[in-house]
């Protein structure tokens, strides 16, 4: 597997593939790769001839008090993991390559509507950073297919909307959330947890399953949200939200609506913020 750090190097490789009529897939990541990421590489591999992974800890999607500085950067390990998982090319750009005029002076791609709620309400500017960097990556790599994990469900919806609204010729493919044996969604941020927090973190998935159960028993979605928030607080979390929304547009459901809903949780455990979701059908 080759690694390139700049746009000309990337374009040269992709142009070579294109000249042979090969299709290209992109798996954008912030590195510190785990089995969840590698399952996205495998999914991309099943759809296209050549797979590019990007590793870039994107400064514009972190708020001023978030974990940009301590976000784990493990490029050599990521490189060997990607090579083992049959990735063809790693694109690992610097901030200067991604933001030639500086991150604070970048053109901004902003997706309205979907970004004002849930993560967007608790992390102002986060989705502008995500959609901007993903749009730049799409322009640089020019993939046919891009694969994103479903753990960041709202991110997936925002990227789908951006891609369609801007007419970008990229098919967005969603990979399933990979979980540890006890249900915790795999995430690079899990390593911030102490061993005691790690045990308690399983309550997020357990709470989502309880939300699904309570909704199936006929409880109103607002009551289910309230019960979930209470359960998380009793387990020692500071929840940002435990929400039931329409899976398609993240709008609040109507009374009695049961089809096509998703449960979404974001909660802090000590200094670690975890998110997860579960389809509620």
Applying CB under 6 A, the residues found at the interface with ligand PAF are 28-30, 58, 61, 130, 133-134, 152, 155
Query: How far is Cα 202 from Cα 179, in angstroms, rounded to an integer?
Result: 10
Best CA proximity match to 188, nearest among 33, 52, 44: 33
Question: Is the CB of 156 or the CB of 280 nearer to ligand PAF?
Answer: 156
Rounded to a whole number of angstroms, the minimum distance from the CB of residue 138 to ligand PAF is 11
Tokens of 221: 């979605």
From the list 34, 37, 126, 205, the catalytic residue is 37
> Using CA atoms, how far apart are residues 93 and 213, in angstroms rounded to an integer?
44
Q: How far is it, in rounded angstroms, from Cα 126 to Cα 107?
A: 15
Looking at beta carbons only, is 30 or 228 nearer to ligand PAF?
A: 30
What's the min distance (Å) between Cβ of 156 and ligand PAF?
A: 9
* Closest approach of ligand PAF to the CB of residue 92, in Å: 12
Question: In which residue are the tokens 């979404």 written?
Answer: 264
Q: Which is nearer to ligand PAF, 187 or 203 (CB)?
A: 187
Q: Which is nearer to ligand PAF, 13 or 133 (CB)?
A: 133
Using CA atoms of 34, 39, 45, 50 in order, give the dihedral in degrees to the nearest 10.
-20
Q: How far apart are CA 193 and CA 219, in angstroms?
A: 33
**Is 5 marked active-site?**
no
> Taking the complex as a whole, how short is the minimal distance between the CB of residue 152 and ligand PAF, in angstroms?
5
Residues recognised as catalytic = 37
């Amino acid at each position: 597997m080759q690694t390139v750090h700049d746009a000309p190097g990337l374009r040269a490789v992709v142009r070579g593939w294109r000249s042979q009529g090969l299709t290209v897939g992109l798996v954008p990541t912030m590195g510190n790769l785990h089995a969840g990421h590698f399952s996205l590489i495998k999914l991309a591999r099943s759809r296209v001839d050549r797979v590019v992974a990007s590793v870039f800890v994107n400064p514009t999607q972190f708020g001023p008090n978030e974990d940009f500085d301590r976000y784990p950067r493990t490029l050599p390990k990521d490189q060997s993991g990607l090579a083992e998982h049959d990735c063809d090319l790693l694109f690992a750009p610097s901030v200067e390559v991604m933001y030639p005029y500086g991150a604070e002076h970048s053109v901004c791609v902003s997706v309205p509507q979907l970004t004002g709620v849930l993560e967007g309400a608790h992390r102002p500017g986060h989705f502008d950073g995500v959609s901007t960097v993903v749009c730049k990556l799409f322009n640089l790599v020019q993939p046919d297919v891009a694969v994103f994990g479903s753990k960041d469900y709202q991110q997936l919806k925002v990227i789908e909307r951006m891609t369609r609204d801007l007419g970008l010729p990229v098919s967005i493919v969603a990979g399933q959330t990979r979980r540890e044996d006890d249900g915790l969604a795999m995430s690079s941020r899990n390593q911030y947890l102490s061993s005691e927090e790690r045990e308690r973190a399983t309550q997020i998935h357990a709470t989502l399953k309880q939300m699904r159960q309570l909704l199936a028993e006929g409880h109103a979605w607002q009551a289910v949200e309230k019960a979930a928030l209470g359960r998380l607080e009793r387990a020692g979390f500071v929840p940002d939200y435990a929400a039931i929304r329409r899976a398609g547009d993240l709008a609040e459901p109507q009374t009695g609506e049961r089809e096509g809903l998703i449960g979404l949780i974001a909660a802090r455990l000590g200094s670690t913020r975890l998110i997860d979701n579960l389809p509620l059908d």
